[in-house]
Amino acid sequence: DVPELRALIGEVAAEQLERSGSDDPRGVSAALRVCFTRLMKSEKKFFVDQLNMLVKRISQEAAEGKDTSGSNGELLLRLHSQYPGDIGCFTIYFLNLVRLEPGEAMFLGANEPHAYLHGDCVEVMACSDNTVRAGLTPKFIDVLTLCEMLNYTPAPSSSKILPATQSQLDPHVYLYDPPVPDFTIMRIEIPASIKLYLISAMDSASILLVIQGTAVGTSTAAASEMSLRRGSVLFVSANESISLHLSSPEGMLLFRACCLL
């Protein structure tokens, strides 16, 4: 549906993808790998010319009041305005567009490509020294490594959504527990009616991030009281608990990154 993208991928690779049926996931993955790799390895002048043609076409269609959603027109124009001439503008046609509402979360496994487009989020990841980028960034780009390491298994965006479950031990704690043992995130919502709250000790160390509210914290590991407010970050040692004396009328919202041993 996007002729400029098809020109970059080439007819052979495009037809291979079109022939791949949903009953053959390996064939689809192989075709996606070929298409994505051909895109990312395109000669710069060629992909810039095709990108300019795409942007011009979408801009004209939008000006005429036509529906450009089939080409992700609104997103394409926004990305191009932020990263003009960037190959990453074409990658939107290989990815799902996911809109998360407050309190929602998603989990991405190793080697899954993604890009944050707008808004703020709390992110936690396992220890890693191999974050690889290929577009939409001013940072170092390594196209060859990225194309080799990516997971090309297609999946609907709904399969990536990670629901929160309320803790059975504390009704103010909601768990985002991904299908890996490396980490878990807790959302702690303390209502304004509570003025003293205990953040319980855990077997692992954790990191506490204050999103909303103010409090004074005390713990056996701290030499003095800690003043906490929006943006405060605490390292909490294993087996350390923290008492919060709330002072804000709106309560508190905190996130805790930890490992459930």
Angle at the Cα of 129 from the Cα atoms of 125 and 135, rounded to 5 degrees: 85
Q: How many CB atoms lie within 10 A of CB 219?
A: 18
Q: Are 154 and 28 in contact (CB under 8 A)?
A: yes
Q: Are 171 and 186 in contact (CB under 8 A)?
A: no
At 30, the amino acid letter reads: A
**Among 19, 78, 133, 187, the one annotated catalytic:** 133
Q: How many CB atoms lie within 10 A of CB 112?
A: 14
> Starting from the edge strand earliest in sequence, which strands make up the sheet with 184-190, in order?
165-166, 173-176, 184-190, 252-258, 206-212, 233-236
At 91, the amino acid letter reads: T
Q: Tell me which residue of 34, 14, 31, 13 sits closest to 22, measured CA to CA.
A: 31
Query: Is 19 marked active-site?
Result: no
Catalytic residues: 133
